[in-house]
Amino acid sequence: MATNPPSPENVNEQTVLPPPEDKSAKEIVEKEETMEIHPPHGPIHTKKDFFIHLGTIIAGILIALSLEGLITWGHDRAQVREARTNIALEIRHNKQIIDRAMNEIEGRKKGLVEIIQAMEELEAGRRVTRKLEYIFIGYDLYSTAWATAASSGATAHMDYDDLKRYTDLYNTQQLFMTLQFDGFRATADISDLGWIMERDPKTLSKARLEQIETAAARYITILDTLADAARQLNRQYAAFEQR
């Protein structure tokens, strides 16, 4: 059975419309095509105009560098102030320790003098019945704030005179700590004093007794030097507190 093709009247005609124009994009293109860039003060026609523009640029650069320099300077000053505050607290704490050390060092020397006298009596064959004592006391002086200031770069921005005074102070502290270590090593030769005091003097080696005497005498010398360093530190600490 033949089928007749549909007549034109029965066909639904579809009209294909063109896509809508992107007016915003078109406007932007048109604006970009017509946009013109002009110098801030007009074109340069003369040498005078050129130097005016050049001077403006240079002035802007100098102002920017000056502002950056001011910011850096302010940061450095703040860093130095913080370092000074921390060092001042550290110095105050260390001075308290040195004040106590100065009162105790002399008493430690008396015990060592008695040990030397006792060794001389033992060498002569006389028994010593009195109690002998010696004690090693370590004094910890802190330098954390100073080390932190050096590692952070704050010391590089300090005045030379202040930097020298800080350096001298902490060098003296280091000397004090080194002397203490030397004193501790000297006490190693006196460590068996209790055992020796319980022995019959006739059975003791004279060389051993002389070794103890030498160690005690060396320790006294170290304590004398330590006391001098403590007095010097005390003066330096006091000078900083008076500022």
Give the DSSP letter string of 34-95. H-----BTB---SHHHHHHHHHHHHHHHHHHHHHHHHHHHHHHHHHHHHHHHHHHHHHHHHH
φ/ψ region of 105 (left if φ > 0, alpha if ψ in -120 to 50, else beta) reads alpha
**Please, are residues 127 and 234 in contact by the beta-carbon 8 Å criterion?**
no
Residue 200, in any domain of the structure: yes
Structure tokens at 93: 């704490």
With respect to residue 10, please indicate whether it lies within any of the assigned structural domains: no
| Domain assignment present for 64 | no
Q: Does 8 map to a domain?
A: no
Give me the residues paired with residue 40 across strands: 42
The domain in which residue 153 lies consists of 87-241
Q: pTM (2 decimals)?
A: 0.63
> Does the residue 111 lie in any domain?
yes
Instruction: Say if 63 falls within a structural domain.
Output: no
For 12: left if phi > 0, alpha if psi spans -120 to 50, otherwise beta; the answer is beta
Tokens of 70: 């001011």
10-residue mean pLDDT profile of the chain (243 residues): values are 43 42 45 45 62 69 63 66 91 94 86 90 86 82 92 85 91 92 83 83 87 90 92 91 71
The tens digit of pLDDT for each residue in 73-90 reads: 555 577 888 889 899 999
**48 occurs within a structural domain:** no
Domain count, the chain: 1
What are the residue ranges of helices labelled H in the chain?
23-34, 47-123, 144-152, 160-186, 193-197, 206-241
* Residue in 73, 87, 57, 44 with CA at minimum distance from that of residue 237: 87
Asked if residue 158 belongs to a domain, the reply is: yes
Residue-wise pLDDT for 3-49, tens only, equals 444 444 443 444 444 444 444 444 444 444 444 444 455 566 676 66
